[in-house]
Structure 1
Amino acid sequence: MSITKLPDGRWFVDVEPIKGKRFRKRFKTKGEAQRFETTVRQKCAENPAWSIKPKDRRRLSQLVQLWYDLHGHSLRDAPRRLSKLQQLAVRLGDPVGTAFDAASYAQLRRKRLDEGISGKTLNNELGYARAVFNELRALGEIDYANPLAGVKLLKLQERELSWLTLEQIAELLEAIRTGCDNPHTEPVTLLCLATGARWSEAEKLTPHRLQGNVVTYSGTKSGRVRHVPIQSELADRLRAHWKASGPFTSCITSFRRALERTTIHLPQGQASHALRHTFASHFMMNGGNILTLQKILGHSTLTMTMRYAHLSPDHLQDAIRYGPLARFPAS
């Protein structure tokens, strides 16, 4: 008989539907054992080469490495993302992929949120983890649904963008000129203010990427190459600086120290990025076009650039023109 009851109460199936091809498995109930025997005989009758697919016991860390080998290595931030995913696997206890569930991830996220990890960091982490399962499923490496598909992103409080007034720009430049020991700090600051570049983009600019009065940024966050014209005086100054002091080196620490010597107070984490916000804000306040600003900043979507739309003179005047008091004379 192919089905027998074991001393521990379970049922053991030992079936050989085709000579030389044997299947053995234990079940909790006799019904499960009988269904298994019937399925095996039917499958082998239809296809003699058929065999039971072994359970997928690969752990999350193994899936992450497989994702990296097949796809992740081609991403611009590949090493950093791999590191983040490996750390996540450790924090979760490195579960078997098929047993990984949304609840366990949500519990970990709650704990990390209580520990002070920012919502943006946690949302990025969720996006990275989802991508692993989506990509492996698309490649046929896993046959189960993404366990994180139903986990929602955290709702984040939109941060106010801090930008400098003309007076604050003058104060900052004065602090840089009179107290910085790094000669590269001032030209990098001017580049950020003139082109809306991220600090890292301006800092990596090399002489051959300044052609005439046009600066070219490559290797950017969005992966797009940007061309931004600058004043001829600034272009001449940059060439003279590179000739005298060589290519830019890291000077963000020098910039932060100069900022500390001013009366300017910026939200945490917006020190160098405030220069990018300053360019965009003044661009819009001076009547610039939002689509042009998107190209200059290199935003992949207009949604990101729309954060500055409220600074447009027309936008501000609309508050007066279309507000409820527009129909009542001031008295």
Structure 2
Amino acid sequence: MTVRKDGECWMADFYENGQAGRHICKHGFATREAAERYESDFLALRQLTGRPLDERLSDLVRLWHERRGHFVRNSGNRLNILLGTVKRLGDPVISEFDATVWSRYEQTRSTQTVPKRVRAELRYLSAVYSDLIRYGVWRGENPFAPLREAESDVAKSSVYKFRRSRELFAEVDDVDLELPPRTCKARAAQFND
């Protein structure tokens, strides 16, 4: 632990993993105790999550893309969506990112775009944490684990009323698409628009 006076304020100056680790030098602490607390919190979070205290969410997304994301279909598009989401979140420090930050973002974002997009962003970011946990890169818990996706106003499959299905099959009889609609009729007339 190296905490020393730097002019008017205190400075925490240490290495992550002894001399072989990354050199951390943070200035501007009002008291010696604050600098020591920063160092101990940094090392404790490093032990808990496996990642440094000052790492940003965008760093985590890029790390995910290097390890796993490039195997995903449309990986470039997925990376752009994730980085756009992180930018709109303000690229938070991962030690401060939790479900409440996402909830505030979700409230504001849902007024700007369709709910389907917000749910996709939630699934993508949750997958980043899940994959990094699976690979042993992130040792903490997934901050999205307690969250559920917002319910959609539209049901996943529409069940047509008997009268509507009769009208629909009358139209289908005119066209050469008899087998799939008849199969659906046998399965309680469930169609997906």
TM-score (norm 1): 0.39
Does structure 1 conserve the Cα–Cα contact (< 8 Å) formed by 2:10 and 2:35? no
Could you tell me the percent identity over the aligned residues? Answer: 27
Whether 1:63 aligns to 2:72 is no
Corresponding residue of 2:119:
123
**Cα 1:129–1:33 shift into 2, 3 Å:** closer
- AA at the equivalent of 2:90: G
Which deviations, in whole Å up to 9, do the C-alpha atoms of 1:111-134 show, x marking residues without a partner? 12223512x432232121111012
Quote the offset at 1:63 in angstroms: 2.3
Which deviations, in whole Å up to 9, do the C-alpha atoms of 1:260-298 show, x marking residues without a partner? xxxxxxxxxxxxxxx6xx843x12249xxxxxxxxxxxx
Whether 1:194 aligns to 2:179 is yes
**Cα 1:109–1:5 shift into 2, 3 Å:** same
Quote the offset at 1:99 in angstroms: 3.4
Corresponding residue of 1:90:
87
- AA at the equivalent of 1:126: L
| Bigger relative contact order, structure 1 or 2 (CA pairs below 8 A, ≥6 apart) | 2
Corresponding residue of 1:214:
none
Instruction: Describe the SS at the equivalent of 1:10.
Output: strand
Does structure 2 conserve the Cα–Cα contact (< 8 Å) formed by 1:60 and 1:89? yes
- AA at the equivalent of 1:284: R
Question: Structure 2 CA distance, aligned partners of 1:71 and 1:37?
Answer: 31
Q: Show structure 2 runs of 5+ residues with no match.
A: 41-49
1:220-259 map, 5 Å: none
Instruction: Describe the SS at the equivalent of 2:151.
Output: coil
Question: Structure 2 CA distance, aligned partners of 1:130 and 1:73?
Answer: 17
Question: Structure 2 CA distance, aligned partners of 1:82 and 1:24?
Answer: 31
Quote the offset at 1:35 in angstroms: 8.0
**Cα 1:141–1:169 shift into 2, 3 Å:** same
- AA at the equivalent of 1:114: T
Which deviations, in whole Å up to 9, do the C-alpha atoms of 1:33-91 show, x marking residues without a partner? 678999xxxxxxxxxxxxxx993544333322321232233334545433432321232
Question: Structure 1 CA distance, aligned partners of 2:78 and 2:32?
Answer: 48
Instruction: Describe the SS at the equivalent of 1:127.
Output: helix
Aligned length in residues: 171
Quote the offset at 1:161 in angstroms: 0.1
Corresponding residue of 2:132:
136
The structure with the larger Rg is 1
Quote the offset at 1:94 in angstroms: 2.8
Out of 142, 149, 162, the residue aligned to residue 153 of structure 1 is: 149
Quote the offset at 1:168 in angstroms: 2.2
Corresponding residue of 1:171:
171
**Cα 1:140–1:115 shift into 2, 3 Å:** same
Question: Structure 1 CA distance, aligned partners of 2:104 and 2:3?
Answer: 42
Quote the offset at 1:5 in angstroms: 4.2
Out of 101, 107, 116, the residue aligned to residue 104 of structure 2 is: 107
Does structure 2 conserve the Cα–Cα contact (< 8 Å) formed by 1:6 and 1:12? no
Whether 1:284 aligns to 2:163 is no
- AA at the equivalent of 1:94: D
Question: Structure 1 CA distance, aligned partners of 2:51 and 2:167?
Answer: 70
- AA at the equivalent of 2:78: R
CA RMSD of aligned residues (A): 4.3
Question: Structure 1 CA distance, aligned partners of 2:129 and 2:66?
Answer: 14
